[in-house]
Amino acid sequence: MESGVEELMPRLLPVDDGDLAEDFDPTVPPRTPQEYLKRVQIEAARCPDVVVAQIDPKKLRKKQTVNISISGCQPAPEGYSPTLKWQQQQVANFSAVRQSLNKHRNHWRSQHLDSNVTMPKSEDEEGWKKFCLGERTYSEIDVLSDNENLGIDYIKVGFPPLLSIVSRMNQATVTSVLEYLISWFGEKKFTPELGRWLYALLACLEKPLLPEAHSLIRQLARRCSEVRVLEENKNEEQISALNLIICLVSRYFDQRDLADEPS
């Protein structure tokens, strides 16, 4: 390096040549810390002062901008805003669920799935919607089957987020399925099946959040607040479920600007 550059970037770990063995060979793996540092210095000296990135203009035409809304959640209907104590308790419960899931993930992953459980591929959006919500909800069919009394038909009502299922999902799949369900929720009503899966997927999200996951959960919280305001019959159980998701996104995942003001 030139002297001017050395003044701006002093060597924090200088190595004197006297510290090196007489048979020092920079082409072989270092044997001592001094040889390692000298090898680093030699490699750094060989680096060019200016590096020009080779950019493919075709790739820049795709998805050049990312639209991120910074708007907050709509306030809860009067009389339905959760208390701070309730929100803190939900965060504590959720944290315990995540710890248990991480602790026993390998055990549940090793459990055999029932023969009727076939998990879709990560990129199969329609397959995951049917898998999680069931063909009945997916097709918006309210008519009960003639075989209803023979037992639960998970193909029709959707598979619950069993530990043996979610433990097999890597982070890419968790994020993809979360995106599929949030997209569904953007145009459809909130259902218990949807709520169970959203809770389970949030429990599987690793921190720190990836940018796409960060954007998704904020979108989810805002959608929950919209549905909560539009809830005509003020179903207390459903509003409580929506409050819970908003609470977890805002207070566990540190999106405090989306949090409900304590009642």
When mean pLDDT is compared across 107-116, 147-156, 177-186, the lowest value belongs to 147-156
- What is the distance, to the nearest Å, from the Cα of residue 175 to the centroid of all Cα atoms in its chain? 5
d(CA 57, CA 61): 7
CA distances from 173 to 19, 165, 167, 210 (A): 51, 12, 11, 13
Q: Does domain 160-258 have CATH number 1.20.58.1070?
A: yes
pTM of this prediction exceeds 0.85: no
d(CA 9, CA 177): 47
Which pLDDT score, from 0 to 100, does residue 10 have? 47
Mean pLDDT, residues 145-173 taken together: 79
pLDDT digits (tens, 9 = 90+) for 232-244: 677 888 999 999 9
